[in-house]
Structure 1
């Protein structure tokens, strides 16, 4: 009996180590917003929060994640929202990922304008400046995306799948005569990446819980090569497609519209 139990545990541990960004286990589809977690008590010890190993790989649900991490993540996020004078959970959320700065900004609003909430350090993001063009180029895409699935059974703790390639990516590929654009681009935990945004485990817990509570249909993800509020986005490289300048104009407008009413200096923890 002891030997059998040991083999089962070892098998589950091995399964969790396999796969890369494109090797996420089948995610759970998002259908509607999930109610916010109950208001947490003060001084909650993070070591109290863990998810037991399921009997079989892939059995964890979004509801399971909210049950385990929802209270803790909400307690961490609430002070930032209170400082920004935005209710929690908000009505809409925008994540702004800046590749050069290795930073992901969280913006949100309820009934007013978007306000800056906080930022997170991106722990890993492969590739260089420029949009993702094909399978295997290891590029983090650039553009304006949506979260189409939440994956509670990711090999990278938790993950959120982007809708890459989106309609604009497909249009440009058709005009260029490109095929096999790649897929399976995620925002996930851990600290390694092949075309994804790796946020670390604690950060992805907050982002995952927030997205589940707000509803994925109310979350937008803007990915830029660098911060256009610092210096303009320009497609200077001859290796970039001709349409990159137009894409960068769209990204710049989206980001600058978010911060147009923000006068204070943004800081993150």
Structure 2
């Protein structure tokens, strides 16, 4: 399925997830649907019910199942389905511009309430191993990878295809709930 977006929004949604990155001029505005089938995104009316005061201390992202799960210790506290990734979702991010979402263990190391996308939690990619590998190949590992919502000003249904440049995208209602449940420093494990 293809989604038709207004021209201004196409530029925003295809721009790098990184705040302040220039918009790549070589990307097509209407890319084909993702190659990996996905479950429908959780609707705002079906957000997980989480007890007051509970916070996550671990996030698991399963790219093949397209789920993001929050844990408090060994207890699952929330699950979000149908999450979206970079335009090239298979494989680990290695270089700037490869449009892949990282795989491995990282941390939530910051947040941006004024992001170009509805809220954003920064993932600590690249780590030392990512930087060393990219350097050995004479390339830049990239960075500014986030968990975020939809582009600001976008009021249509959730974008139903992979559309980021390596970030993890959810609905605005989902990221708003995650924002409250996930403190800085939370471990995130992104699995293939």
**Range class of TM-score, shorter chain:** 0.5 to 0.7
Alignment equivalent of 2:122, drawn from 135, 142, 161:
161
Deviation track 1:78-120 (CA, whole Å, cap 9, x = no partner) reads: x444xxxxx7233x521111111111111113xxxx2111210
Q: Summarize the alignment of residues 171-250 of structure 1 with structure 2, pairs less than 5 Å apart.
A: 171-174=132-135, 176-190=136-150, 191=159, 192-211=163-182, 215-217=183-185, 219-225=186-192
Residues 112, 120 of structure 2: 8 Å contact kept: yes
The structure richer in helix per residue is: 1
TM-score (norm 1): 0.49
Deviation track 1:155-212 (CA, whole Å, cap 9, x = no partner) reads: 11111111110122123334x334211111110001442211001100100111122x
User: Are the structure 2 counterparts of residues 95 and 122 from structure 1 closer, same or farther at C-alpha, using a change threshold of 3 Å?
Assistant: farther
Indicate the residue corresponding to 2:57 in structure 1.
93
- 3-state DSSP of counterpart to 1:168: helix
Alignment equivalent of 1:103, drawn from 67, 72, 80:
67
CA–CA distance in 2 between the matches of 1:150 and 1:120? 19
Residues 125, 196 of structure 1: 8 Å contact kept: yes
Residues 101, 166 of structure 2: 8 Å contact kept: yes
CA–CA distance in 2 between the matches of 1:187 and 1:22? 9
User: Could you tell me how far 1:18 is from its partner in structure 2?
Assistant: 4.1
User: Are the structure 2 counterparts of residues 105 and 117 from structure 1 closer, same or farther at C-alpha, using a change threshold of 3 Å?
Assistant: same
State the aligned residue count: 147
Q: CA RMSD in A?
A: 2.7
CA–CA distance in 2 between the matches of 1:138 and 1:102? 17
List runs of 5+ in structure 1 lacking aligned partners: 1-13, 26-75, 82-86, 226-269
Indicate the residue corresponding to 1:121 in structure 2.
81
**Bigger relative contact order (CA 8 A; separation at least 6):** 2
User: Could you tell me how far 1:23 is from its partner in structure 2?
Assistant: 4.1
- 3-state DSSP of counterpart to 1:156: coil
Indicate the residue corresponding to 2:17 in structure 1.
22
- 3-state DSSP of counterpart to 1:22: coil
- Highest CA radius of gyration, 1 or 2? 1
Residues 21, 186 of structure 1: 8 Å contact kept: no
Q: Summarize the alignment of residues 112-151 of structure 1 with structure 2, pairs less than 5 Å apart.
A: 114-126=74-86, 127-151=88-112
- 3-state DSSP of counterpart to 1:97: strand
Indicate the residue corresponding to 1:247 in structure 2.
none
